[in-house]
Chain A
Amino acid sequence: MNNRSHFSLYRFSKSLSQIFVNVILLIISFLFLLPLVVVIAASLSDEKALAKNGYSLLPQGFSLSAYEYLLLDPDRLLRAYAVTIFVTVVGTLLGLLVMSMLAYALSRPEFKWRKPFSFILIFTMLFSAGLVPTYLVVTQVLHLKDNILALILPYLVVPWFVFILRSFFSSLPQEILDMARVDGASEWRIFFQIVLPLSTPVLATVGLFTILLYWNDWWLSLLYINDPNLFPLQYLLYAIMRNAEFLTSNASTGLLTSVELPTQTLRMAMVVVAMGPIAIVFLALQKYFIRGALIGSLKG
């Protein structure tokens, strides 16, 4: 009897805490989502109404003109999508491979160069030669100007991510690895057949971060790509936005009134267009960071 009442009390407090948790998260989600709703509403609004009344939760004077403008040149947009998708997929897969190999090596205590290499990585995070020297290396030493590799290679190793991976690998139970080694398995086999499968959450995490890194990048294309056929999505959108910003900051008055400036609604539409596919990817990868999916497999 004692046990039973203790148990039901426990269950009650559990559901109470569940309610508590859900309420807080609901409020937080609402606050976080508010701007998204406003952005979508603005992208569907009429420009004049928006300027007159400011932003709100509902579209004002419903209008698809911003999206029409974006789709005016569908070829360019589609090509940009293709470039971005290619770069992102290749970059992420390759990057994950390279980074996890590096991180694994760094996580093994018996690796002699562990400390120095870690230091090397950190050093690069802090010290950068800056724009001009890097540009010179990529274009003149590696001859990668207007080459799609220039969009992929620079981000293949992100020190921050490597350290996240390393930290995770370090926390894997050593016994499993030792047992495999005793059984005669090579380092590579251990890596591919034991370590990687055990690390799906962190691989999904770093994978997602890397996807985002490649997907959102416009900086590399600004530097190294002149051929419009190789422009990725974000660069196209960035270019449209930056045209307007530049014109706000320049000192020459009066000259530029003849140049057409993009509208507020257009900016909002661009956010939605750029975000769309990534949101889908995120939803797909989500199962790796949501409780309950993979705990079972870890035990095996």
Chain B
Amino acid sequence: MTMPTKIPEFIWGRKYPKIAIDMEKCTVPFLCKKCLQICPEGVFHVTRVMSKEKRLEEMDPRIDGNYVLFATRRDKCTGCNLCIDVCPVDAIKIEIPAMERLRPDVSGEQWTSQ
């Protein structure tokens, strides 16, 4: 099956922000949930640790290390640093790549960095 689609206008080749989360410090993200709820773009994602043995078990989010935090949608991160300010254990580091000024490429259809 092919679904007819429209491609959104991406800026090809741009680098997205890199978000590092220190697992040693961030141990109970599902209970803390401060960064998850403050992020305007909903960048973070919390999920349980996936392992084959525990696949069919219920895991208690109150126990250290059962749930982990990921920056799944880092393409939407704006670098506003709200999550860094709110984090009680200082576990989040954001590295914003150098942003180039964008201008319209008159020969093509989309915006490019030049």
A-B interaction: no
